[in-house]
Amino acid sequence: MDFIIKKLILILITMSFLDYFKNVNPNLQIFASDSTGININFGDSIQVKGNIKNLKDRKEMYEKEIINKIKQGRSIEEKMGQPFYGVRSFFEDDFCREIGPVSIIGTVAYPSWCNVDNGPFSIFRNPNSVVIIPLTLELNSGFKVNLIDTLKDGLQADDIGVIKGHNHNPQTLAGPNFKFGQDQLVGIIDHNQNLMKLYEISEVGIYRKKQFDKLFEINSSYDLAIDLINKKGQTYGGVSFGKNKKNCFNHSKNCLLNSIHLLEYQYKNNAPEIIYDQNWGYITEKLFPPHSLIKDYGSLKKIFLSRNFYLIIDINENQLSEISRVNFRKIHYE
């Protein structure tokens, strides 16, 4: 009887996870609205039936139709929520009224996002004029739907199941019969539910000697450019999140390298630790580049359905008075 109950629970968890591919997450709608001001080139979604017939090389299908589209940003869309002007407007929001300044875990009080003195937003140089924009980067709906079809039908991937969390030892996930350099593990991560659906693709032909010891592939091959637009409709300044570091390549006239940051937000009350990285500035997650939706470990790929951020524009009042709009651009190099 216990075995049957456990089986039923596993089936319900799996069904819940797969429903994400068919429905818009309600928490996501609250966090990042469908407001305009973001120009997106979605690219082509995966055309499963045609590719299954035409592509004989499984490696080419795997890399071209899944991995490269994510790394190049062609399967990713941006959604921007209602901005906050000054930290006070954020702390007075219903979100902060609900969670309060601290989160109690066991007997320890941890600062929340809404902690004025010790929370992530206590680092701002311009607390009265900083702009805080909720930003969600997610796989577009067509890509998500066809992703599962491509794995199962096109690549004959084995469905290993759904597990809680995604920071597991890859060696344990692989098992004793896993062939490094030939087989692939693909984990599809839903941050909001803290679940990962795991697939194994046999004999995909990646031919790599390295295993899972560290990230050794570039996780993103495009720049995410943040443009601040003035009242004349011209670019006032900005910064780009590139492949290897935050840069000024696309904003040489007025680069706001030390004023614009991406802080990842996850659905939990206690705030993450703020990290200052030499290449990226202030961050909350050691996933580089910060705007990537994939972690490439060679024989293991972790694909995020979405990641939520606060885009921080830490500018003074005079600078803020010049700005009328914030735009996003994808700059492709492949």
Proportion of the chain above pLDDT 90, given as a percent: 46
- Average the pLDDT over 111-138 and give the result: 94
16 pLDDT above the threshold of 80: no
Encoded amino acid at 12, one letter: L
Contact yes or no for 145/127 (Cβ under 8 A): no
Structure tokens at 317: 């009042």
CA triple 298-55-301, angle to 5 deg: 20
196-205, 272-281, 316-325 — most confident range: 316-325
- Average the pLDDT over 245-256 and give the result: 94
Beta bridge partners of 184: 201
Helices (H) and strands (E) in the chain, counts: 10, 18
Query: What would you report as the CA-atom Rg of the chain, rounded to the nearest whole angstrom?
Result: 21
3-class state of residue 279 by DSSP: coil
Q: Residue 219: its pLDDT value, please?
A: 81
268 pLDDT above the threshold of 70: no
Q: Residue 180: its pLDDT value, please?
A: 80
Comparing C-alpha atoms, which of 182, 193, 198 is closest to residue 148?
198
- Average the pLDDT over 97-105 and give the result: 88
Provide the whole-model pTM.
0.79
- Average the pLDDT over 301-323 and give the result: 95
- Confidence grade of residue 221 (pLDDT, cut at 50, 70, 90): confident
Q: Residue 1: its pLDDT value, please?
A: 56
- Average the pLDDT over 214-233 and give the result: 83
State pLDDT tens for residues 61-95.
898 899 999 999 999 999 999 999 999 999 999 99
34 pLDDT above the threshold of 70: no
User: How much is the mean pLDDT over the chain?
Assistant: 80
Q: Distance (Å, rounded) from C-alpha 201 to C-alpha 204?
A: 6
- Average the pLDDT over 239-264 and give the result: 94
- Average the pLDDT over 277-286 and give the result: 86
146 pLDDT above the threshold of 80: yes
Q: Residue 182: its pLDDT value, please?
A: 82
Contact yes or no for 113/264 (Cβ under 8 A): no
